[in-house]
């Protein structure tokens, strides 16, 4: 059983945040990811090429995860699909 003192100590601990950062391989995304990792936060860094994220996750294995994503523009086909989905699930 947890004591009242231990419970209060647990409540005082700051929450760790997890960020999903797209474009984390360079520029603003990379700097944002580095800042979050340096503060002890968790980061899921996304980029088109996983190897571009190797430098980011190096040294932060417990708090960083590199994933690949393809980014698409919201073209007419995509917009029609969203419209159909919203009409079928009001």
Neighbour-count burial of 39, counting CB atoms closer than 10 A to its CB (0-12 exposed, 13-18 middle, 19+ buried): exposed
Task: State pLDDT tens for residues 72-90.
Answer: 555 565 556 556 555 544 4
Q: What is the pLDDT along the chain (90 residues), one digit of tens a residue?
A: 667 666 666 666 566 788 888 889 999 999 999 999 999 888 888 888 888 888 887 888 888 888 887 665 555 655 565 565 555 444
How close are the terminal C-alpha atoms of the chain, in Å? 47
Single pTM value for the model:
0.62
Helix (H, G, I), strand (E, B) or coil at 3: coil
Report the CATH superfamily, name and number, of domain 4-88.
Answer: NAD(P)-binding Rossmann-like Domain (3.40.50.720)
């Amino acid at each position: 059983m947890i004591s009242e003192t231990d419970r209060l100590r647990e409540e005082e601990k700051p929450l760790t945040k997890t960020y999903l950062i797209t474009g984390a391989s360079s520029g603003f995304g990379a700097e944002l990811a580095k800042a979050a990792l340096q503060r002890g936060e968790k980061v899921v860094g996304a980029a088109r090429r996983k190897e571009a994220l190797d430098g980011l996750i190096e040294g932060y294995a417990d708090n960083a995860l590199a994933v690949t994503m393809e980014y698409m523009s919201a073209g007419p086909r995509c917009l029609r699909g969203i419209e159909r989905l919203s009409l079928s699930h009001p």
